[in-house]
Copies of this chain bind each other. A is one copy, B any other.
Amino acid sequence: MRFFDHNATTPLWAEAKAAWVEANEMHWLNPSSPYRSAAAVHAQLEQGRERLAVLFDVDPRRIVFNSGATEGNNAVFATWAKMLKATDRVVVGVTEHPSVLAAAERYFEGRIDWLPADPAGVVGPATAEWSDASAISVMAANNETGVLNPWQDWLAACRECGIPMHCDASQWIGKMPLDGLGNCDYVTGCAHKFGGPKGVGFLIMPEGSAVGLAGGAQERGRRAGTEDVAGILALVAAVEVADSKRLGCSDKHKMAFLAALEQSLPGVQVIGDRQHTLWNTVEIIMPQFKSARWIRALEKKACLVSAGSACSTGKQGTSHVLAALGVDADAAGRALRLSSGWETSAEDWEVLLGAILESFRELETDAAEPGSQVISI
């Protein structure tokens, strides 16, 4: 299979698997147990935290390990709900991940100001009025379109206003440079987006109180529950691998693919400004045929692509991200998200191109056949 859905999830790096297996053999004791052998496991956990802190250039005490981005994003708004005044409003980008949108709605119902996206999908400080904000949540890179938000500008603006900033960097980490990201007050990270295991992630946050799971002193009282040391060490191994491999990655193959695609398949529309997009991601609107038919046809040719966020699959209606970009429902129904990985080759992109062109001919033939019945999936 040629896998073009790395924004949904990623295969586990060998290094991450090795770290998990080793931890379960060597460091499986409960790090809170009172004997020295358990203290050694606790030391492994703290060494993992320090390695991650080095990558982000933050104080290790700011890192809280958790079960993934959804928990991290929920914890940010739960913490703000406790920390801010009952009348305070939060400002949230319209293109955020569903877990940010839903957490904001749960904890700040009626007190959310939405930041619009510009026509290229970018959510920037210049695009909206937000001076009433008491806290801001803007993602680093969009999961569906790959569009990069100017989080550095947001951070500068938040510092000027003296309000906290949250950056969901789930899609940024492992693909883009980490420099400066740790300066955001809150940063969400998720292992399975960069080749780590599912079920583990982290939230960089200010020291001090936070509202995570209640019931234990773990993670400096900010997230109760026995620490998943094996998952955490696998996460750290994975981010180190991804952050190193990304140095050899660029959008070169993707750009060549897009140029060839646009030439061969007139009417294809590329979403966003392709210069300000993750190197691995592109969302395209196909000239004809629903996303689901494309996905099925391409899977038969051993190419896996997506229609949008895996998390919103199964939901009714148009992608909120495409809607925010002014894409109409009909066009949004023809969207494909292509997201490559650290080891995707020029050949993989060429195979995908061939598969798309061949699928197009087949779908056209199917449609032209009298009496052809397309079974909706």
Contact = CB atoms under 8 A, between A and B. Distances in A.
B24 A21 contact: no
Contact of A70 (B9, B34, B225, B296): B225
B215 A32 contact: no
A107 to B, nearest CB: 9
Interface string A23-44: 0100011101111111000000
Nearest to A31: B310
Interface of A: 1, 5, 8-9, 11-12, 17, 20-21, 24, 28-30, 32-38, 66-71, 73-74, 97-103, 105-106, 192, 197-200, 213-218, 224-231, 291-292, 295-296, 299, 304-307, 310-315
A69 to B, nearest CB: 7
A192 B28 CA distance: 10
A261 B70 CA distance: 50
Contact of A292 (B34, B228, B291, B311): B34
A74 B214 contact: yes
Determine which residue in A24, A33, A69 has the highest number of CB atoms from chain B within 10 A of its CB, and name it.
A33
A198 B227 CA distance: 7
A148 B299 CA distance: 53
A125 to B, nearest CB: 25
A306 B36 CA distance: 11
A230 B198 CA distance: 8
A198 B27 CA distance: 12
B17 A21 contact: yes
A217 B28 contact: no
Contacts of A225: 67-71, 99
Given A34-B295, A37-B299, A198-B230, A315 B70 contact: no
A232 B41 CA distance: 23
Given A24-B12, A103-B214, A312-B216, A226 B192 contact: yes
Contacts of A217: 311-312, 314-315
B310 A33 contact: yes
A134 to B, nearest CB: 20
Nearest to A70: B225
B1 A28 contact: no
A33 B17 contact: no
Given A11-B28, A24-B12, A215 B101 contact: yes
